[in-house]
Amino acid sequence: MLKLGSFARYWHTLRHLKRIQFYARIKFKLFDSYGSREGLLISPPQVRPRGCLWRKPIPSEIFQLGPRIFRFLNKEHELLPERGWQDKSLDRLWLYNLHYFADLNAKNALARIAWHQSLISEWIAENPPTLGTGWEPYPTSLRIVNWVKWALTRKVLIDFRLPDDFDQSLATQTRWLMKRLEWHLLGNHLFANAKALVFSGLYFQGVEANIWLRTGLKIISSQLDEQVLNDGGNYERSTMYHAIFLEDLLDLINLSNTFSSQVDPKLVDYWCIVAKKMLSWLKVMSHPDGKIAFFNDAAFGIASSLADLEAYSNRLEINFDSQERFDGHQNIPSNIQHLKDSGYIRMSSGNAVALLDVAPIGPDYLPGHAHADTLSFEMSLFNQRVIVNGGTSRYGLGPDRLRERQTVAHSTVEINSLSSSEVWGGFRVARRAYPFDLELSKNSAQMAVSCSHDGYKYLLGRPVHRRSWLLRENAIEIRDAIQGSYSKAIARFILHPDIEAREVAQDVWDLRLPQGDLIIFVVEKGAAQIERAFYAPEFGKVLSTRCLAVQLEHGISSVHMRWS
């Protein structure tokens, strides 16, 4: 029997789900055991002639280092014949990446074309339909897209030949995917499924291909306005998944232009408008180094960069105008940008850029990529990241995944050694924080933002955290206050690993940037100490760093950072 605490956690997790997620999960499980696999191996449809040029998509980094050697998630392994494609000694996410076939469209892929042809033939021979990791819906979706991209790109070569049974396998995968759409998960998984259906539906022609195409387009039409908020942000509030979703949309625009007579031009025009909004959002949510901020699941090296996404949009003639304004962007002045629908704020003054999280952790029915990071922030000075969140190094279950999602791994306040949102498992959240009472103001000397959240109100003393940021030309003040009783509250300021910290007086630290710039960190209210912390900029990569931890006194802490 479930204990009372476990029952409450499950209740607070499940009560937010949509009914379709319950129904689809039951169907999904039943289909695993009893679903029909008939009709998968009939002959594939004919390939559709192209009407226009397929433009170069964004090339990924190189993942295949030899005929059977791969590097994913900062881990290098050989595909051993005796262990095959289901090697249980390898991490599940690493295996997923193996089955994606992303290297087909990576940098300098033409030099590895013989490897790729051989690898596809091997996959077809050693992964019989519906069996194993590679046939799960998400890797199937990404592989379908990567195979179609590869075929469209390589068919311009005079001596290019598709591997035997390529079209047969592609059709079989698509037929299986049609039976396995991830309605139980929704979000980016369902969108990836729909994208794959559109890719196969346009690559092939005929009655069956048109069913795939219509199904994919219908899902995209139903999901696009839900998953992309009015300010251009993806509703899962992950900067990394936002960039992935944006590239998906650009790929769909590219493919629809290639087969221009098959998709309504008005629909493609609308996708272009959404893509421009998403580009605008991503630019606001990037540091001066051009890379994403770390809110919720986020890491470098998974999604394409802002620069690559802008270049791709330009190749598709979706020209990004940095002065363009959208209804969702509430620009209070130009140096405070409030993404009011997704819930983030960018403050900038001189050499300082601060990115503030005043957002819900994600849609209530889909918090799988959420962290307990409410009212956290990141800050760059002199184009160098100084204050950061902890990042994401892994998925799955285990203490490392849990720690990276907890409040302790973020630059915000932790109360009673608990997280502001009750993250658990690999991708679950029970009770969660909601921000409220947001205030923004500005005058000629400074700009200010303050916000509260209720993530700890379930505790006996019903504490509420309120944080205020006050940014001036050469200084920032961060003030934290707790209303209600609590045992202990700590405001953490996680330093980027490149920052040197030296205590020069009681409650005063020098923070030295790599290029020599100096920041003075002063604790005016609270008891401060240096703690060990971790920073995960990429999957499979965790760096040691330090954190300035300020214990609130009588419910208040206040710190200043000054520079010149």
Print the SS3 string covering 525-557.
ECEEEEEEEEEEEECCEEEEEEEEEEECECCEE
Position of tokens 């209070």? 332
SS3 404: helix
Contact yes or no for 180/31 (Cβ under 8 A): yes
Q: Identify the residue whose tokens are 């179609």.
A: 148
Neighbours of 423 (CB within 10 A): 25
Which pLDDT does position 18 carry in this prediction? 82
**229 close to 328: Cβ distance less than 8 angstroms:** yes
For β-strands 489-495 and 475-483, DSSP reports them as unpaired
pLDDT reading at 457 higher than 70: yes
Residues 505-548 have pLDDT tens digits of: 999 999 999 999 999 999 999 999 999 999 999 999 999 999 99
Could you give the domains of the chain?
A: 46-222 (1.50.10.100), 329-562 (2.70.98.70)
Q: What is the pLDDT of residues 49-81, one digit of tens each?
A: 988 889 999 999 999 999 999 999 999 999 999
In the three-class reduction of DSSP (H, G, I as helix; E, B as strand; rest coil), residue 376 is classed as coil
Please report where in the chains the tokens 């299986």 appear, as a residue. Answer: 176
**pLDDT per position as a tens digit, 540-561:** 999 999 999 999 999 999 999 9
- 173 is written with which tokens? 């995968």
pLDDT on residue 322? 47
Residue 7 pLDDT grade (very low, low, confident, very high; cuts 50, 70, 90): confident
Q: What are phi and psi of 538, to 5 degrees?
A: -145, 160
Q: Which amino acid type is present at position 547?
A: C
Q: Give residues with Cβ within 8 angstroms of 298, minimum separation 6.
A: 238, 239, 240, 292, 391, 392
For residue 10, pLDDT over 60 is answered with yes
> What does pLDDT average to over the chain?
93
Amino acid occupying residue 534: F
Is it the case that residue 106 has pLDDT exceeding 50? yes
List, in sequence order, every residue forming a beta bridge with 336; answer none if it has no partner.
347
Least confident of 18-27, 64-73, 158-167: 18-27
Q: How many Cβ atoms are within 10 Å of 357's Cβ, its own excluded? A: 28
C-alpha span between 380 and 388 (Å, rounded): 9
- φ/ψ (deg, to 5) at 58: -80, 120
pLDDT of residue 414: 98
Which residues lie across from 69 on neighbouring strands? 66, 78
And the tokens for 190?
Answer: 């369902």
Question: Three-class SS of residue 103?
Answer: helix
Predicted confidence (pLDDT) per residue in 186-225, tens digit: 999 999 999 999 999 999 999 999 999 999 999 999 999 9
Closest CA to 249 of 279, 229, 226: 279
Amino acid at 455: G
